[in-house]
Amino acid sequence: AQSVTQLGSHVSVSEGALVLLRCNYSSSVPPYLFWYVQYPNQGLQLLLKYTSAATLVKGINGFEAEFKKSETSFHLTKPSAHMSDAAEYFCAVSDLSGNEKLTFGTGTRLTIIP
């Protein structure tokens, strides 16, 4: 079964600094991978997804992620953090059996320091 591991339940960065949120996957076949963001008291919103096309995926709000098969990773980055980026970020992997099941990581809370 596919799974994802998010390293670091809390990450703090200064405003304007690089954001790096880590996600490693476990899958016996090339997976479909997603990053979702949850702002306080809201539902989840898709940031970006990897579906076996380009390995560097660009998403909304200046975020991007690179699929690295050799490292089984799909880390999320943003060159310059904004205060509005403060949120909970979830990495997820799609079940390839065709039932659209997403398995989420445990989440990383991103705090932006002014």
Chain residues 37-66 in contact with other proteins, contact rule CB under 8 A: 38, 41-46, 49, 51
Output 80 or 101, the one with its CB closest to other proteins. Answer: 101
- Report how far residue 5's alpha carbon sits from residue 73's, in angstroms, rounded to the nearest whole number: 9
**What residues contact residue 25 under an 8 Å CB cut-off, 6+ apart?**
2, 3, 4, 5, 31, 33, 72, 73, 74, 91, 93
Closest to other proteins by CB, 62 vs 107, is: 107
**In whole angstroms, how close is the CB of 57 to other proteins at the nearest point?**
12
Residue with Cβ nearer other proteins (26 or 80)? 26
86 burial (CB, 10 Å; 0-12 / 13-18 / 19+) is middle
Under the binding rule (CB under 8 A), the answer on residue 90 touching other proteins is yes
Greatest extent of the chain over all pairs of C-alpha atoms, in Å: 44
Chain contacts with other proteins (rule: CB under 8 A): 32, 34, 36, 38, 41-46, 49, 51, 88, 90, 94-96, 98-104, 106-107, 109
